[in-house]
Amino acid sequence: MALAPSSIEWALAVVFLPLAGALLCFLAPRRAAALGLTIAALTAASTLGLTLEVVVAGTQRTVLGGWGAPLGIVWLADGLSVTLMAMTAAVGVAVSVYAAAYFRDEHTERAFFWPLWLLLWTALNALFLSADLFNLYVTLELMGFAAASLTALGGSAAAVSGAIRYLLVSVLGSLFYLLGVALIYHACGTVDIALVAACIGDAPRPAVQAAVGVMFAGLMLKTALFPFHFWLPPAHGSAPAPVSAVLSALVVKASFYLLLRLWIDVLGGGGRWLAELLGLLGAAAVIWGSVLALRQERLKLLIAYSTVAQIGYFFMAFPLALAGDSAAWTGALYLALAHGLAKAAMFLTAGNLMRFGGHDRIAELDRAVHRLPLTLTAFTLAGVSIMGLPPSGGFIGKWLMLEAAFRQERFGLAVVMLLGGALAAAYVFKVVGHAFTPAVRSRRERKIPAAMEWSALLLAVVAILLGLTLPMIWPLLQIGGPAAALSAAGAATGAVA
């Protein structure tokens, strides 16, 4: 194995390749698309390498610059983080291919899209790898800046104000998180996740409680959990399609991932009341987001509200996991993965429809089924996963969570999950139905490059096939940190009351 790159190099590659790519694309805007695509492919390949490494050899630790845990920076790649990185890579490649075609004729947007997008990818991978709380803060901010700038890429007033709102929310959320980090540092004298986890049991409780409170508040804001979702639809609805895709599919997941890490790795299960509160907010998000999605008249806003609803599901796992039901976590993670792929596909198809007809009003989709069959197929397949119909990834996630809910006889949560699925079907088919009927007046139509249709379709197909890969992904999720904590999560209730 002397010739094969070791794990250290893979972990470095997944962060520094896109970073270098971002700089190169910035320096050579004319070649940005070609460069960006190459870098995307290389990054995806490195992610695959890292994933295989973790599968074969278990959790990988990377000590940057030779400085160890308390002072230096440590990267940790366990099953959970590589799974999310793999999802990022899948979405990333598809979005890159799509964007290469999407921005072909728009020079300014192309010149800025590629550096920012690759920077965002860098931040995401760094976030998934980071193993200390402060480093996570830095990556969180990096991600926020890149994402806010991408939101403004469209250049319209709506896009810019969406970006400003997003930036304000993002910075506020990060500051709250940082406040929590300060309190934790006060309590434990370290920010390394493993060391904090070891000391949190006998740290002063008020400090830990306050820290958990502000950190969760900040991250809920960034994850757009109801009622903090107000900023998401305008931001995701006004950005260019590839940007909306990565915002909805990846950026929201990153802060959820961080919440999960805190909950499982740092708090070892967290407190009962907080879990119930999160579950309640999640349930409210599912209903509220779905109902609002159903009421939208513009496709991109509909998809954005659907994201609000789907985020709710992730949080409903918290109360379910209290009883030590690890199926709930796996279910929520599976939903997150499936949602990432499917939602990205949906936003890409929305981009196709928007370019095709010059608008995204649902009632005037004007026989899009006949004219853009691949796009509509992609939309419907992605919708199947969002609704949670078998055999999609969304179905598996929902099944696992429902199983946990019924096992614990939490019928209220089960009803909300089922109702959310029905509402999702309603809003997906609202779109599909209007795509069959002709509009009152026909409009101009622009040709859609094949790359834009196929990248969306492939993503949607992957979201469906994800449902069949549980036997492969389940063991992967168990590798490293979370697994031990997952089963202990129930036992440690009341660590933070």
Partner 1 sequence: MIPLFDTSVPPDAVLPPDAVLPLLVLASSLVPGLVIFFLGEERVRTRTLLNLGGALTKLALVGWMFRGVYEGQRYEARLPLLDGLDLVLRVGSLSLLFLVLSAGLWLVTTVYAVGYLERSPNRSRFFGFFSLCVTATVGVAMSGNLLTFILFFELLTLTTYPLVVHRGTEAARRAGLAYLAHTVFAGVMLLAGTVWLYTLTGTLTFAPRGFVSEIADTHRGPLIAIFALLIAGVGVKAALVPLHGWLPLAMVAPAPVSALLHAVAVVKAGAFGIVLIVYDVFGVEQAAELGLTGPLAAVAAVTIIYGSLRALFQDDLKRRLAFSTVSQVSYIVLGVAIVGPLASVGGIVHLVHQGIMKITLFFCAGNLAETLGIHKVSEMNGVGRRMPWTMGAFSIAALGMIGVPPIAGFVSKWYLGLGALEAGVHWPLYVLTLSSLLNAAYFLPILHAAWFCEPTTQWPAAGSGTGTENGKPIGDSGRWLRPETGWLLLLPPLVTAALSLLIGLFASSPFSPLEWSLLIAEREFHYP
Partner 2 sequence: MTQPVFWALVGMALVVIGLYGLIVHAHLLRKILALNVISSGVFLVFIALARRAPRDGAAISPGPDPVPQAMVLTGIVVAVAATGLAVALIVRLRAMTGRTTLGDEADN
Positions touching partner 1 (CB under 8 A) are 327, 367, 369-370, 373, 380, 384, 389-391, 396, 399-400, 402-403, 406-407, 414, 418-419, 421-422, 425-426, 429, 432-434, 436-438, 467-468, 470-471, 474
Tell me how crowded residue 484 is: count the other CB atoms within 10 A of its CB: 13
Residue 72 makes contact with partner 2 by CB under 8 A: no
Tell me which of 61, 186, 359, 367 binds partner 2, using CB under 8 A. 186
Q: Which two tokens stand for residue 436?
A: 């069959």
Which one-letter amino acid corresponds to residue 176? F
Residue 178 makes contact with partner 2 by CB under 8 A: yes
Peptide bond into 227 cis (omega under 30): yes
Q: Which does 323 bind (CB under 5 to 8 A by kind): partner 2, partner 1, none?
A: none
CB closer to partner 2 out of 63 and 450: 63
Tell me how crowded residue 202 is: count the other CB atoms within 10 A of its CB: 9
d(CA 227, CA 260): 19
Q: Which does 406 bind (CB under 5 to 8 A by kind): partner 1, partner 2, none?
A: partner 1
Tell me which of 143, 183, 266, 336 binds partner 2, using CB under 8 A. 183
CB closer to partner 1 out of 143 and 400: 400
Residue 494 makes contact with partner 2 by CB under 8 A: no
Residue corresponding to tokens 């400003």: 164
Backbone angles phi, psi at 230, to 5 degrees: -55, -30
Residue corresponding to tokens 């990377």: 62
What is the three-state SS of 208-276?
HHHHHHHHHHHHHHHHCCCCCCCCHHHHHHHCCHHHHHHHHHHHHHHHHHHHHHHHHHHCCCCCHHHHH
Residue 251 makes contact with partner 2 by CB under 8 A: no
CB of 470 to partner 1, least distance (A): 6
Residues 281-320 that bind partner 2 (CB under 8 A): 292
CB closer to partner 2 out of 230 and 406: 230
Peptide bond into 373 cis (omega under 30): no
**DSSP 8-state code for residue 74:** E
Return the bridge partners of 37, or none.
none
Residues 223-242 that bind partner 2 (CB under 8 A): 230-231, 233-234
Residue corresponding to tokens 């700089």: 23
d(CA 433, CA 426): 10
CB closer to partner 1 out of 255 and 290: 290
Residue 198 makes contact with partner 2 by CB under 8 A: no
Q: Which does 217 bind (CB under 5 to 8 A by kind): partner 2, partner 1, none?
A: none
CB of 36 to partner 1, least distance (A): 31
**DSSP 8-state code for residue 152:** G
Residues 103-162 that bind partner 2 (CB under 8 A): 134, 137-138, 141, 144-145, 148-149, 152, 156-158, 160-161
Question: Which among 317, 282, 288, 322 is positioned nearest to 305, based on CA atoms?
Answer: 288
Positions in the binding site for partner 2 (CB under 8 A)? 71, 134, 137-138, 141, 144-145, 148-149, 152, 156-158, 160-161, 163-165, 167-168, 171-172, 174-175, 178-179, 181-183, 185-189, 191, 202-204, 207, 230-231, 233-234, 292
